[in-house]
Amino acid sequence: CERQDGRPFRQRLLVVANRLPVSAVRRGEDAWSLEMSGGGLVTALLGVKGFEARWIGWAGVNVPDEIGQRALTDALAQKKCIPVFLDEEIVHQYYNGYCNNILWPLFHYLALPQEDRLATTRSFQSQFAAYRKANQMFADVVNKHYEDGDVVWCHDYHLMFLPKCLKEYNSNMKVGWFLHTPFPSSEIHRTLPSRSELLRSVLAADLVGFHTYDYARHFVSACTRILGLEGTPEGVEDQGRLTRVAAFPIGIDAVRFIGALDTPPVQEHMKELKERFAGRKVMLGVDRLDMIKGIPQKILAFEKFLEENSDWHDKVVLLQIAVPTRTDVPEYQKLTSQVHEIVGRINGRFGTLTAVPIHHLDRSLDFHKLCALYAVTDIALVTSLRDGMNLVSYEFVACQDAKKGVLILSEFAGAAQSLGAGAILVNPWNITEVAASIAQALNMPAEEREKRHRHNFAHVTTHTAQEWAETFVSELNDTVVEAQLRTRQ
């Protein structure tokens, strides 16, 4: 196709997420440097190619002055990013408050401690007002940059109000919304004071997507039970208008991981790691340091394993790499101290003068080091208490085609539905069960490891981030065309 001006037509994709894939650091009045930011959403979306994409979001920094805003906008434009400027108060109430203190724990079935619950109840209205205001600010920026024919893809629980704001601007905008976390049972969602407003706003989108069929089902149940709407096999219907609801399981850019394994820097890191841990089996955990990842539970299960298997002392090591996130939030600071305390206790208990059983790092690793670690690992331990999908399990599998290590995977991660047949599935709350699964993995015959790995490797290399994005966008285009045909009939 061609545009009227003769330029080739390629549908533009406006990706709208709370955070841009880069974080801005101020270097002067009008000078900025940009650093890549991490997390599953960014990893997945950066693995998507072939779209004429623009990314709209917050750069993670308060920029009160116009000179700074203009300079940052110019710097970001080179990365095809468009900033939304949020002031400190909005960030505090919308991001730290409503998103991270209310929606994040609720969507992961985590109860708040009693005193936090009361404080949250008191501050709920102001935080919800800030959430709406922030979403409106995102909508203003999208609307300013929107061109006819663009597809607008909104991401995650931070932007549940966005579809409604966008459709109020332009009811013809093609709007999709995808949730990266679980959507909880409707009984959990019901407890939110703003339950109906959020559902109605998401339903303004043309297409609503989740990682798994279960999350989609929970969402449809919430709409039928809380709003009294009709659930159909295609989605949710409200007065003749259908919002399509479906599962779009995310994936990774598997080729990027597999291709990196033969490169000199990865080979060099692998050699160092093999020498460092020679004679010991390597177990690995890679997580953001977050309540949902079940890091204390994982470490306690490893302790239980050591208690029950003295013949494995000195023959196995757990490397736990945890990137700190939300470091200004007291609950996360508490988690960090708790993990340090447990690791120290276990190392004191089972360590020797020459070796400790747990190596815990509070930091992010660069891509090559991460690939090398995945490749030399014998057993990956993913013990999320809840997780939308969990891409670490995918990345591990992608890097294991030579070694065929074992994946121990929480049944509460979305990935359990795709990698369940190849992994050992566990309930992370049951440390006895996880300890037994470590023993099972360590003793697993090579033939069984090979068979399990084959299953998972085939999945990870075919269900990629690229396929996920292409399927979502083409389904969104089809959904809009079908809706237009229905209204014409």
Buried b (16+ CB within 10 A) or exposed e, 244-278: bbbebbbbbbbebbbebbeeeebeebbeebeeebe
Query: Which of these ranges, 50-58, 81-89, 190-198, 280-288, lies near ligand ADQ under the rule CB under 6 A?
Result: 280-288
**Closest to ligand ADQ by CB, 15 or 250:** 250
What residues numbered 34-63 form the site for ligand ADQ, per CB under 6 A? 38-41, 43-44
Segment (H or E) for 41: helix 40-46
Decide if residue 250 touches ligand ADQ (CB under 6 A).
yes
Decide if residue 253 touches ligand ADQ (CB under 6 A).
no
Residue 386: CA count within 13 A, CB half-sphere: 18
Burial class (CB in 10 A: 0-12, 13-18, 19+), 484: exposed
**Closest to ligand ADQ by CB, 192 or 322:** 322
C-alpha distances in Å from residue 273, one per residue of 30, 265, 365, 368, 381: 43, 12, 14, 13, 18
Q: How far apart are CA 269 and CA 376, in angstroms?
A: 10
What is the per-residue binding string for ligand ADQ in 387-406, x denoting contact by CB under 6 A? Answer: xxxxxx--x-----------
First to last CA, the chain: 28
In sequence order, which residues have a C-beta less than 8 Å from that of residue 89 and are 6 or more positions away?
130
Token pair belonging to 24 = 């801005």
Are residues 296 and 344 in contact, defined by beta-carbon separation less than 8 angstroms?
A: no
What is the per-residue binding string for ligand ADQ in 430-469, x denoting contact by CB under 6 A? Answer: ----------------------------------------
Three-class DSSP category at 194: coil
* Shortest separation between residue 476's beta carbon and ligand ADQ, angstroms: 17
Residue type at 399? C
Query: In this chain, which of 206, 287, 303, 378 binds ligand ADQ, going by CB under 6 A?
Result: 287
What residues numbered 163-182 form the site for ligand ADQ, per CB under 6 A? 180-181
Token pair belonging to 137 = 């600010």
Greatest Cα pair distance, the chain, in angstroms, is 79
Query: In this chain, which of 246, 365, 442, 483 binds ligand ADQ, going by CB under 6 A?
Result: 365
* Shortest separation between residue 418's beta carbon and ligand ADQ, angstroms: 11
**Closest to ligand ADQ by CB, 14 or 44:** 44
Decide if residue 343 touches ligand ADQ (CB under 6 A).
no
* Shortest separation between residue 91's beta carbon and ligand ADQ, angstroms: 19
**Closest to ligand ADQ by CB, 163 or 414:** 414
Binding site for ligand ADQ (CB under 6 A): 38-41, 43-44, 180-181, 250, 286-288, 321, 323, 364-365, 370, 387-392, 395
